[in-house]
Amino acid sequence: MKRLFLFALASTLVAGAVSAQDTEDKSKRPSPPATTTQTIDGGVTVSIDYSQPAVKGRTIGKEIAPYGQVWRTGANEATVFTVSAPVTIEGKTLAAGKYDLFTIPTDGKWTIILNSELTTPDGKPTWGAYTYHEAKDVLRVDVPSGKSPSFAERMTFTVAKNGKVSLTWGDKQVDFHVAKG
């Protein structure tokens, strides 16, 4: 009977912790949420919903966003990239819809990955690279990385009217181009 009571107590505590995570105020996280949205030339709306990790004195490619490994490209839940109509990204076709955005950073180039697995089997948003499955990739492009014009402590995405998407973080800048398909 004592074991049954302890099991029930432990189950209740775990369920309460999971429920608290589900209702947590995202604005109070160490890596705050951000969204950028732009209607690019051709009338397509591009939106990126992500969390902004900070550099905090670490080296990109080593202590954070390790070179040669799939990275969730943000913090917390996977970054979501949405397009309202078919587009091309660096010349490759992408259907309208929502996609998780991952990258593989390396010195000099980054691989941009758009993946169709937006939820876990239990219906929750995917959480970083821990839930990444390469079989669900719908688009991969390699783009050069360069030096950012100014240091950005927090990772930031921007989308320009001409379709240029820029990720700036630390002293890095990675750009790719989105155009109406």
DSSP code for 126: P
**pTM for this model (two decimals):** 0.81
Confidence at residue 159, expressed as pLDDT on a 0 to 100 scale: 98
Confidence at residue 130, expressed as pLDDT on a 0 to 100 scale: 62
| Strand-pair category, 87-89 with 33-39 | unpaired
**Residue ranges of the chain with pLDDT lower than 70?**
1-30, 121, 125-130
pLDDT tens for each residue of 62-97: 999 999 999 989 998 889 999 999 999 999 999 999
Phi, psi (deg, nearest 5) at residue 81: -110, 125
Q: 150 exposed, middle or buried (CB, 10 Å; 0-12, 13-18, 19+)?
A: exposed
Confidence at residue 26, expressed as pLDDT on a 0 to 100 scale: 57
What's the order of all strands across the beta sheet hosting 97-105?
A: 33-39, 45-51, 79-83, 97-105, 109-115, 137-159, 164-180, 87-89, 92-94
Confidence at residue 15, expressed as pLDDT on a 0 to 100 scale: 42
